[in-house]
Amino acid sequence: MAMDTSTATPPSNSFEPWSSSYWTVVLLLALSITTGIIYILTQRYQPYLRSIPGPFLASFTDLWRFVKVNQLRFELTLQELHDRYGDLVRVGPNCISVGDPREIRQIYGISRLFQKSEYYRVAQPLINGKPVASLFMITNEDAHKAAKRPIAHAYAMTSLLDYEPFVDNTSTVLVERLTSLYADSDKVCDIGEWLQWYAFDVIGEMTMSRRFGFLEQGRDVGTIIKTLNKSGAYTAIVGQMPWLDYLLAKNRWWGHLFSRDKMGVSKFVLSFLQPRIDEAALRRRERKKDHDDDDDDDDDVTTSTDHRKDFTAKFIAASERYSGKIPPSQLLGWSLSNINAGSDTTAITLRAIFHFLLLHPACLSRLLDELHSAELGDAPTFRETSTLPYLGAVIKESLRLHTPVGLILERVVPQGGVTLCGRHFPAGTVVGCNPAVIHQDARVFGRRYGVREFRPERWLEPPSGGEELAEMERCFMAFGAGKRTCIGKNISLLEVHKLVPLLLMKFKFTLVDPEKSLTIWNTFFVHQKGLEVYVEKA
C-alpha cells in the first residue's frame, strides 16, 4: 500500500502563539483602561473635594451636569440634591454648589476677587473672529470695570426719568392691542406671550428709541425670540463643559454651524444699532468740516451730539469719550447687554407676577385696594409706584418664588483658597450659588411662612427689629449679588413697577384654567409658557 505523504491539517483546537500585533492591541487596550481608571480615581479623590457629597458620576466628569442641564429643569435637580446632601454638593470634578445663603457675601462680595468661570465665555459670540462680550459675559474683572465705567451712569437711579417716556409709549401700545383684540370677548389671550413681546419692544424703545415691532405685528419679529432661546440653550448646556465650545461654535472650520443663533442675535441688534452709529459718524464729519471752515480751535470735534436720551445716545457718547481705551466692538457689547438680559428677565418677572396674583385672589384684591388708594394717573409714574409697599412685596415674592435665574452663578476661588460652610477649597475650584435654590432656604425665607408659599406679607411683617427682613434682603439674588449684580436691575424694576399697576387698573384678567400648570424650562433663565387668560375692561 502506498504511503500518504500530504501535509496533515492541524486540529482546529491547536495552539499558535499570537503575533506581535495582537499583543500591541492588548497592551494599548489595557493601557487605555488603566489610564481611564487612574483619571477617574484622580478626579474622584481630589484633595479637599473628595469628601463633598454628590452624584457619583459628577465626581469625575462634567458629563453628569451636561446631561442634567440638558433636561431643562436643573434648578429642581439641584434643589433635590441640596435637600439630600446639605449646603455643599459636588456637581462636577471641580465644581461645588453652595446652598448656604450666608456664604453669598463671601463668594460674590467686593472684599475678594472671585472671577467668573469659563462658563461665561461660551456665551460670547465671535464677530470677525473676535469675541464680543456683553457686561454679563466678561470674565476678567479688570476688563469688566473698563467696560462698565463709561456707561454705568446710564443705569443709575438718577437716569430712570430719562426712560419713563419710552416705557409709557410701549405700554400704551400694549393696552391698545389688548383692548382691540381681547377685551370683553371670549377670545383666549396668551398674556405671557404679549408680556414677552412687550419686554422686547420696551427695551428697544429705551435702547434705540424705536420698538422692534413685536406688539404691532403680534408675533416674534424675525424669530429673534426663538433664536435667543436657542442661543441660551446652547450656552447653558455646552457651558457645563466649556472646552466643547472650542470644538463647536468657536471652531474655525465648522463653528458657523453652531454659532448661527448667537450671530443671529448680534446681527439683529446691529441692524438697529448701525444706523445710529452712521448718524453719529456723519455728525462728527460735519462738525469737523465746520471746525476747519471756522478755524476755531476751541470747538470740540471729537464728540457727536445726539440729544435723544436713550441708551444708544449714551453708549455712542461714551465710546467716543473713551476712544482708544475700549475696543470699538464694545458698543455692540453694551447693546447686547440690554437686549439679551433685559428682555428675558423682565418678561419672566411679569409673567410670574400675573400668574401668582391670578392664582391668589386675596393677594390680588389687597394689591388693587392699594392701587386705588394711591389715586394713580392714567400713566403711573415710577415715583408714585416705587413707594407702594404691597406692590413692592408682590414683586419681590414673585421674583423669589419664580427666580429668573436657575443655574449656578459660577465663580473661581482666588489665590489662597476659601473656607465655605466650614470646608476649605483651594484656588481654582469653581464654586457658586443657584439663586433659585437660595430662595428656597427655609432658614432665611421660611421663618414665618412656608418657602414654597406665595406670601408677599413675608416682606412686610418682620418680627421686632426687622432682622428677618434684613437677612432676606441680603440673601435676595433675583438680580445676582455683589459687585456683578445685574447692571439693568433698576431698568427692569422701572418697567415692572409701571406696567403691573397700569394693566391691573385697565383690565380684569381671569385664568382660562386655574388648574393648568405653566410649561417651564431652564436655560439659565427660567422661562414660562401657557399663561392663558380672558380679558375684561376694568
Is the Cβ–Cβ distance between 203 and 346 less than 8 Å? yes
Is the Cβ–Cβ distance between 130 and 136 less than 8 Å? no
Three cell numbers, residue 143: 476688563
- What pLDDT was estimated at residue 66? 96
- What pLDDT was estimated at residue 300? 46
475 marked ligand binding residue: no
- Can you tell me the mean pLDDT for 318-333? 86
Q: pLDDT (tens digit, 9 = 90+) per residue, 56-91?
A: 999 999 999 999 999 999 999 999 999 999 999 999
pLDDT band at 28 (very low <50, low <70, confident <90, very high): confident
Q: pLDDT (tens digit, 9 = 90+) per residue, 221-267?
A: 989 999 999 999 999 999 999 999 999 999 889 888 888 888 888 88
Residues 364, 448, 351, 391, CA torsion sign: positive
Question: Long-range contacts: 227-232, Cβ < 8 Å, 24+?
Answer: 227/261, 227/264, 227/265, 227/268, 228/261, 228/265, 228/340, 228/343, 228/344, 229/523, 229/527, 230/261, 231/261, 231/262, 231/264, 231/265, 232/344, 232/523, 232/524, 232/525
Other beta carbons within 10 Å of 481: 22
Burial of 465 (0-12, 13-18, 19+ CB in 10 A): exposed
- Can you tell me the mean pLDDT for 2-27? 55
pLDDT(297) > 60: no
- What pLDDT was estimated at residue 305? 60
pLDDT(421) > 80: yes
Residue by residue, DSSP assigns 79-129 as: HHHHHHH-SEEEEETTEEEE--GGGHHHHHSSSS--EE-THHHHTPPEETT
Q: pLDDT (tens digit, 9 = 90+) per residue, 438-454?
A: 999 999 999 989 999 99
pLDDT(464) > 80: no
Where in the chain are the domains?
Answer: 51-123+406-438, 135-403+483-537
Q: pLDDT (tens digit, 9 = 90+) per residue, 375-397?
A: 998 999 999 999 999 999 999 99
Q: Does domain 135-403+483-537 have CATH number 3.40.50.10470?
A: no
Q: pLDDT (tens digit, 9 = 90+) per residue, 266-279?
A: 888 888 888 988 88
What lies within 8 Å, CB to CB, of 501 at 6+ separation is 371, 376, 380, 385, 388, 391
CA distance 442 to 86: 13
pLDDT band at 23 (very low <50, low <70, confident <90, very high): low
pLDDT(403) > 80: yes
What lies within 8 Å, CB to CB, of 49 at 6+ separation is 59, 90, 93, 94, 96, 425, 429
